[in-house]
């Protein structure tokens, strides 16, 4: 209804009003009851959740640890510890230092002790407390490497000789005078498989030369194409005239350093030299019969400056020696590789036992010990065996100058020893890459005191030096005896591999990937030499090392023919 001008009256349900006091009181009471019910439900639900000591929580935690172990070991490249309660393995570089990371999981075997994890030799950290059982099982496969066995040396045999037909042994005599000496050319015939040979003894028929006792040197030379002595003396043994009687008879001398002779070539010469400087040292018997096989007597009238060859004369002589042929059967080394791991983990309480397994795509090799350095960092910092000590030490508590470690190459500035000491009494494989950089110097070397047990060992030394013509020479010795010598190697890094088998007392050598043969050795008594390996340089020579790895582990054997 419209009344006065500009005034409107609102009539009926168009107006609003608030809650009454009674309504508000009732509403608050209802809400209080509802909140109390919700709070009670939340409390009841929270009590139903598992706590840290709840069996489900413990089972989940154990499962996560087992999964982490298996995930990490899938990346392993080597396993250096493999027992039912501990494993140590190496994975690729993860911190940018260019070296492996070392991870170890271990349990003491005492119920209630924790399962721990250790990284790069650091402190052991508990990953699962109160362990009731922890076990590791391994699936493995073996791989066999075959390589040539050491050459076989024959028993001593007669290789060349002349004795008069019908057993007549009088013949004629030729004196071993002051500067006039006789000799004999000979050329043994060898089977095609002979690799080398040695002269062990020379026999001759002689009587004394009369007068005062003199000395005669029995010398061995290589022959030239005309059957005459050429080059330096290969070996010589002195013989006293006092051992000769007035009647001619057979005598012999031993040659101790006439080994490794080539089965091919122009032949060989034995010369009977007067080394007293006067008189007659002996009277040797010879014959005018045609020399068998074209072998003839030699004569010098100027103390070996020149020789003549008499094909119609021959000394009465015998040459004894041995031959070396390839091994009838190769040797082999068997290495183990882990292809899978089973893990069992159980904690004290009602938690379920966790069992899990994984295949290892890398199939890491199982080793009992290992040393390695790419020289991307100071090798003294490395701890592959996770014993808390460095794998390498500079002898005398020295240190490596950081300026000598550049670009993954160490310019040798100290004696770098393996640590801790190890006798290398299992299959030991050495991979080494180094180069000599100082021309005319003594060079650098890798030295290993291997097969160290029972009071004996074998020192194996690989020396590399740069010659004046700027080519490198590699010489490898075992017990002081040269087994490999290679000249003409170009400048740059030389790769050497040694495979040492203590069970068979052999070392196989490869240089630049080419097999150089397998050699037997005889252990010696150490003179205070410790069981370790060393990288160093001779007399301050300049040498650079690029890589070294020593693996210990594997089983040896000989392949049945």
* Per-residue pLDDT tens digits for 396-423: 989 999 999 999 999 999 999 999 999 9
Reported as a pLDDT band with limits 50, 70 and 90, residue 383 is: confident
Reported as a pLDDT band with limits 50, 70 and 90, residue 557 is: confident
Residue 379 has a pLDDT of 94
What's the whole-number mean pLDDT along residues 546-552? 97
Reported as a pLDDT band with limits 50, 70 and 90, residue 23 is: low
Strand-strand pairing, 76-82 and 365-366: parallel
Distance CA 449, CA 457 (A): 6
Question: DSSP E strands: which ranges in 36-171?
Answer: 76-82, 86-91, 101-106, 115-119, 125-128, 131-147, 152-153, 157-162
What's the whole-number mean pLDDT along residues 33-39? 66
* Per-residue pLDDT tens digits for 78-135: 999 999 999 999 998 888 877 889 999 999 999 999 999 999 888 999 999 999 999 9
Residue with tokens 């069970």: 503
Reported as a pLDDT band with limits 50, 70 and 90, residue 2 is: very low
pLDDT greater than 50 at residue 13? no
Distance CA 49, CA 46 (A): 5
Residues 465, 541 contacting (CB under 8 angstroms): yes
Residue 166 has a pLDDT of 65
* Per-residue pLDDT tens digits for 132-171: 999 999 999 999 999 999 999 999 999 999 988 766 566 7
Distance CA 158, CA 318 (A): 7
Average pLDDT, the chain: 89
User: What element of type H or E holds 428?
Assistant: strand 428-436
Residues 6+ apart with CB under 8 A from 40: none
Residue 513 has a pLDDT of 97
What's the whole-number mean pLDDT along residues 290-296? 64
Distance CA 46, CA 39 (A): 11
* Per-residue pLDDT tens digits for 353-382: 999 999 999 999 999 999 999 999 999 998
Q: What is the pTM of this model?
A: 0.75
Reported as a pLDDT band with limits 50, 70 and 90, residue 46 is: very low
Radius of gyration of the chain (CA): 42
Reported as a pLDDT band with limits 50, 70 and 90, residue 476 is: very high
| C-alpha dist (Å) from residue 61 to 47, 73, 119, 357 | 20, 19, 20, 17
Distance CA 90, CA 67 (A): 18
Distance CA 369, CA 383 (A): 11
* Per-residue pLDDT tens digits for 255-275: 999 999 999 989 999 999 999
Alpha carbon distance, N-terminus to C-terminus of the chain: 130
pLDDT greater than 60 at residue 323? yes
The two three-digit tokens of residue 74, written as one number: 């899938």
Q: Kindly write down the DSSP assignment for every residue of 348-370, as one continuous string.
A: SSSPPPEEEEEE-TT-PEE-SEE
Residue 14 has a pLDDT of 45
Residue 518 has a pLDDT of 95
Distance CA 372, CA 8 (A): 103
Compute the half-sphere exposure of residue 263: CA atoms within 13 Å on the CB side of its CA: 15
Q: Is 413 exposed, middle or buried (0-12, 13-18, 19+ CB in 10 A)?
A: middle
Least confident of 161-165, 319-323, 473-477: 161-165
Q: Is 503 exposed, middle or buried (0-12, 13-18, 19+ CB in 10 A)?
A: middle
Question: DSSP E strands: which ranges in 283-415?
Answer: 283-287, 297-300, 308-310, 314-315, 317-325, 331-347, 354-359, 365-366, 369-373, 392-394, 405-406, 409-411
* Per-residue pLDDT tens digits for 330-356: 999 999 999 999 999 999 987 889 999
* Per-residue pLDDT tens digits for 171-226: 789 999 999 999 999 999 999 999 999 999 999 999 998 877 899 999 999 999 99
The neighbour count for residue 561, using CB atoms within 10 Å, is 7
Distance CA 455, CA 209 (A): 51
pLDDT greater than 80 at residue 6? no
> Which residue segments constitute the domains of the chain, with CATH numbers given?
65-139+334-366 (no CATH), 152-325 (2.60.120), 369-558 (2.60.120.200)
- Determine the 3-state secondary structure of 343 from DSSP: strand
Strand-strand pairing, 365-366 and 354-359: unpaired
Reported as a pLDDT band with limits 50, 70 and 90, residue 235 is: very high
With a pLDDT cut of 90, the percent of the chain lying above it is: 73
76, 131, 73: which is closest to 342 by C-alpha?
A: 73
């Amino acid at each position: 209804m419209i009344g006065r001008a500009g005034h409107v009256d609102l009539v009926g349900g168009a107006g609003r009003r608030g809650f009454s006091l009674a309504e508000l009181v009732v509403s608050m009471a209802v809400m209080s009851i509802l909140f109390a019910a919700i709070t009670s439900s939340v409390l009841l639900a929270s009590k139903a959740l598992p706590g840290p000591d709840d069996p489900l929580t413990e089972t989940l935690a154990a499962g996560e640890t087992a999964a982490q172990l298996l995930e990490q070991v899938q990346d392993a490249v080597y396993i250096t510890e493999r027992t039912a309660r501990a494993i140590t393995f190496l994975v690729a570089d993860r911190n940018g230092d260019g070296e492996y990371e070392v991870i170890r999981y271990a349990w003491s075997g005492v119920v209630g002790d924790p399962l721990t994890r250790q990284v790069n030799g650091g402190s052991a950290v508990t990953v699962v407390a109160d362990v009731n059982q922890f076990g590791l099982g391994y699936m493995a496969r073996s791989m066999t490497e075959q390589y040539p066995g050491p050459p076989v040396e024959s028993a001593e045999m007669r290789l060349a000789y002349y004795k008069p037909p019908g057993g007549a042994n009088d013949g004629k005599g030729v004196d071993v005078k002051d500067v006039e000496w006789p000799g004999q050319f000979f050329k043994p015939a060898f089977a095609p498989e002979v690799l080398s040979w040695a002269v062990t003894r020379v026999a001759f028929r002689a009587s004394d030369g009369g007068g005062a006792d003199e000395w005669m040197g029995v010398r061995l030379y290589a022959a030239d194409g005309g059957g005459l002595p050429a080059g330096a003396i290969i070996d010589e043994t002195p013989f006293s005239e006092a051992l000769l009687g007035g009647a001619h008879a057979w005598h012999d001398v031993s040659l101790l350093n006439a080994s490794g002779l080539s089965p091919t070539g122009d032949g060989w010469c034995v010369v009977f030299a007067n080394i007293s400087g006067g008189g007659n040292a002996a009277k040797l018997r010879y014959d005018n019969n045609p020399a068998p096989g074209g072998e003839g007597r030699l004569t010098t009238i100027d103390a070996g400056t020149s020789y003549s060859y008499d094909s119609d004369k021959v000394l009465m002589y015998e040459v004894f020696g041995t031959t070396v042929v390839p091994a009838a059967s190769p040797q082999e080394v068997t290495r183990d590789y882990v292809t899978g791991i089973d893990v069992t983990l159980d904690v004290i309480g009602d938690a379920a036992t966790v069992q899990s397994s994984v295949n290892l795509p890398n199939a890491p090799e199982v080793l009992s010990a290992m040393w390695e350095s790419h020289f991307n960092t100071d090798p003294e910092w490395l701890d592959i065996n996770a014993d808390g000590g460095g794998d390498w030490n500079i002898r005398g508590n020295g240190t490596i100058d950081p300026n000598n470690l550049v670009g993954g190459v160490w310019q040798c500035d100290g004696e770098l020893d393996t640590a801790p000491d190890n006798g290398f009494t299992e299959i030991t494989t050495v991979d080494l890459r180094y180069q000599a950089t100082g021309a005319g110097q003594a060079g650098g070397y890798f030295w290993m005191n291997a097969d160290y047990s029972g009071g004996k060992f074998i020192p194996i030394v690989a020396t590399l030096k740069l010659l004046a013509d700027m080519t490198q020479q590699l010489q490898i010795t075992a017990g002081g005896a040269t087994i490999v010598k290679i000249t003409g190697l170009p400048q740059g890094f030389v790769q050497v591999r040694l495979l040492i088998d203590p069970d068979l007392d052999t070392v196989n050598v490869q240089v630049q990937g080419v097999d150089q043969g397998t050699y037997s050795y005889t252990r010696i008594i150490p003179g205070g030499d410790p069981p370790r390996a060393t990288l160093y340089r001779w007399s301050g020579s300049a040498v650079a090392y690029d890589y070294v790895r020593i693996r210990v582990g594997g089983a040896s054997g000989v392949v049945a023919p």
